[in-house]
Structure 1
Amino acid sequence: MIYIELNIKLKKVLDLLKKKPAILAFVTICNSSALAQVDIGYKFGGVTTDVRSNPNFSDKNRISYQLGLYLNLDPLPFLSLQTEVLYTRTRVQNIVAVDGLKTGMKGMGYWSVPLLFQVNPMPFLRIGAGPQWNFHTNRYKYRITDDQQAFKNFMSLALDAEVKVSGSTRLYIRMNKGIERFENISDGKSGKINRWEFGIQRSLMKK
Structure 2
Amino acid sequence: MGISKTKVCCLIIFLLATIQDVAAQINFGIKAGYLRSKTSPEIIDKWHNGFCVGAVLSYDVSKEFALRCDLFYSTRGYEENDGIVDKNGVIRDVKANFGYINLPILVEYNVLPFAAIQAGPQFGLQTNRTLYYDDVKQNDALFGEKQIFDFSLVVGIKLKYKNLFAELQYQHGLTSAYRHVDIFKTKAISVNLGYMFNFKK
Aligned partner of 2:112 among 111, 115, 122: 122
Q: CA deviation at 1:68?
A: 0.4
- Residue in 2 that maps onto 1:83: 69
Please list every run of 5 or more consecutive structure 1 residues that lacks an aligned counterpart in the other structure: 1-29
For 1:137 and 1:193, how far apart are their aligned partners in 2? 16
- Which of these two proteins has the greater Rg computed from alpha carbons? 1
- Residue in 2 that maps onto 1:158: 154
Say what the alpha-carbon RMSD is for the aligned residues: 2.9
**What secondary structure is seen at the aligned counterpart in 1 of 2:183?**
coil
Letter in 2 for 1:105: K
Q: Deviations over 1:50-107 (max 9, x none)?
A: 124552xx2311112111000000010000000111110123236257xxxx972112
Residues 1:194 and 2:187 are matched in the alignment: yes
Instruction: Flag the structure with higher helix content.
Output: 1
Contact 2:40/2:78 (8 A) holds in 1: no
Aligned partner of 2:101 among 111, 119, 132: 111
For 1:158 and 1:171, how far apart are their aligned partners in 2? 16
Using the size of structure 2 for normalisation, the TM-score is 0.72
For 1:143 and 1:157, how far apart are their aligned partners in 2? 30
Q: CA deviation at 1:46?
A: 0.2
Residues 1:62 and 2:44 are matched in the alignment: no
- Residue in 2 that maps onto 1:19: none
Aligned partner of 2:177 among 174, 182, 202: 182
For 1:115 and 1:143, how far apart are their aligned partners in 2? 34
**What secondary structure is seen at the aligned counterpart in 1 of 2:123?**
strand
Give the number of aligned pairs. Answer: 168
Distance 1:81 1:104, change over 3 A: same
Letter in 2 for 1:106: A
- Residue in 1 that maps onto 2:78: 92
Distance 1:93 1:121, change over 3 A: same
Residues 1:173 and 2:168 are matched in the alignment: yes
Q: Deviations over 1:130-162 (max 9, x none)?
A: 0001211115973358xx634543211000111
Using the size of structure 1 for normalisation, the TM-score is 0.70
Q: Deviations over 1:165-201 (max 9, x none)?
A: x210011110001112221365xx5221011011211
Letter in 1 for 2:35: V
Distance 1:134 1:96, change over 3 A: farther
**What secondary structure is seen at the aligned counterpart in 2 of 1:77?**
coil
Contact 2:27/2:58 (8 A) holds in 1: yes
Distance 1:163 1:171, change over 3 A: same
Aligned-pair identity in percent equals 20
